[in-house]
């Protein structure tokens, strides 16, 4: 547990080879937390894997806290962790919101990054939020969209993020809990094409996930509109690999496509018959192919830039 100030204490772990290629894993959400599954995408004999639960979620404390919890705070936390574990630079590995945070950190500290492996790209633009919370995805899942809208009065359904925000940040803890689960279930139900969706979650997890995600989305993820594409030039010298499900309904492929266009060192892999979730079999397999390839290149002395 690392005290990062502002009343937050974050959970950090390392695994694998202490002398191996360092990689930082950035979980999704915001608010998702890390899982042991994420470690398994790396050969532990070759990689030194650093994982952490971002402010307010997972094993970090206080749970579901949104005070002093912005993208800038998380970038600062990443730099604190890097200094704490004594690394000059590292490979970034992140999916969904983790890809967003990886891009934001890399653009802020390009000298500290050796490359990026991204999955299910989310660029934190209003058009992406409108797709998921404004009815776009609901056209493919009208029954699930209706279930997500049901707890909200008709007069408020024109802005579902704000409507849920009023309830997730109510002074009534019971009301927060009632609205956390449908928020979580809407995203979870659409995440998997091949991976099975989970229909329940522990109350504390649901509350942390819903509050943090809604907090970030209600504030445009604390990024300028289009910032991650605008500032891509800061990291275009770095190698990048993107794994994107062809039928990703949470983060549709157009964002990954736009990010990759014109980036000479970017290897975009659109995976057929796959959705958004990290646990999608073909998504998992493609990510492992990439990490194994990077391992083999290291052993052969081939630089990462040789995409």
The full DSSP string for 148-204 is HHTTS-GGGTT-HHHHHHHHHT-S-HHHHHHHHHHHHHHHHHHH-SSSPPP----HH
Q: Convert 33-59 to b/e letters by CB count within 10 Å (16 or more is b).
A: bbeeebbebbbeebbbbbbbbbbbbbe
Catalytic site residue from 96, 215, 255, 274: 96
6 an active-site residue?
A: no
Distance CA 48, CA 86 (A): 12
96 catalytic, yes or no? yes
Q: Which of 30, 226, 209, 275 is nearest to 123 (CA)?
A: 226
| CA 236 to each of CA 107, 114, 135, 260: distance values in angstroms, whole numbers, following the listed order | 10, 12, 34, 10
List 43, 53, 77, 248, catalytic entry: 248
Our answer to whether residue 248 is catalytic in this structure is yes
Distance CA 261, CA 102 (A): 18
Instruction: Report yes or no: 46 and 111 within 8 Å, Cβ to Cβ.
Output: no
Which residue, among 92, 87, 111, 114, has the nearest Cα to 103 in the 3D structure? 92
Phi-psi region of 231 (alpha: psi -120 to 50; beta: other; left: phi over 0): alpha
Catalytic residues: 96, 248, 276
């Amino acid at each position: 547990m690392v005290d990062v100030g502002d009343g937050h204490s974050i959970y950090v772990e390392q695994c694998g080879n202490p002398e191996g290629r360092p990689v930082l894993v950035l979980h999704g959400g915001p608010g998702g937390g890390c899982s042991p599954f994420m470690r398994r995408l790396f050969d532990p004999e070759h990689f030194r894997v650093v994982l952490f639960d971002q402010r307010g979620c997972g094993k970090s404390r206080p749970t579901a806290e949104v005070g002093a919890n912005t993208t800038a705070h998380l970038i600062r936390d990443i730099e604190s962790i890097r200094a704490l574990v004594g690394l000059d630079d590292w490979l970034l590995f992140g999916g969904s919101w983790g890809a967003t945070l990886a891009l934001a950190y890399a653009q802020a500290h390009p000298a500290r990054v050796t490359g990026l492996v991204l999955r299910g790209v989310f660029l934190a633009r209003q058009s992406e939020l409108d797709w998921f919370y404004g009815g776009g995805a609901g056209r493919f899942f009208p029954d699930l969209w209706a279930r997500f809208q049901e707890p909200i009065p008709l007069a408020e359904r024109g802005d579902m993020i704000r409507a849920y925000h009023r309830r997730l940040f109510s002074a009534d803890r019971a009301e927060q809990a009632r609205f956390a689960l449908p928020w979580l279930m809407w995203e979870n139900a659409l995440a998997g094409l091949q991976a099975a969706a989970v229909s329940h979650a522990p109350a504390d997890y649901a509350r942390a996930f819903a509050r943090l995600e809604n907090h970030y989305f209600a504030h445009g993820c604390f990024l300028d509109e289009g910032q991650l594409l605008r500032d891509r030039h800061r990291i275009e010298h770095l190698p990048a690999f993107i794994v994107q499900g062809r039928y990703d309904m949470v983060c549709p492929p157009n964002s990954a496509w736009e990010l990759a266009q014109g980036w000479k060192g970017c290897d975009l892999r659109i995976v057929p018959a796959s959705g958004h979730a990290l646990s999608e079999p073909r998504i998992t397999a493609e990510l492992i192919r990439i990490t194994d390839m990077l391992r083999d290149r290291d052993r052969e002395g081939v630089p990462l830039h040789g995409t």
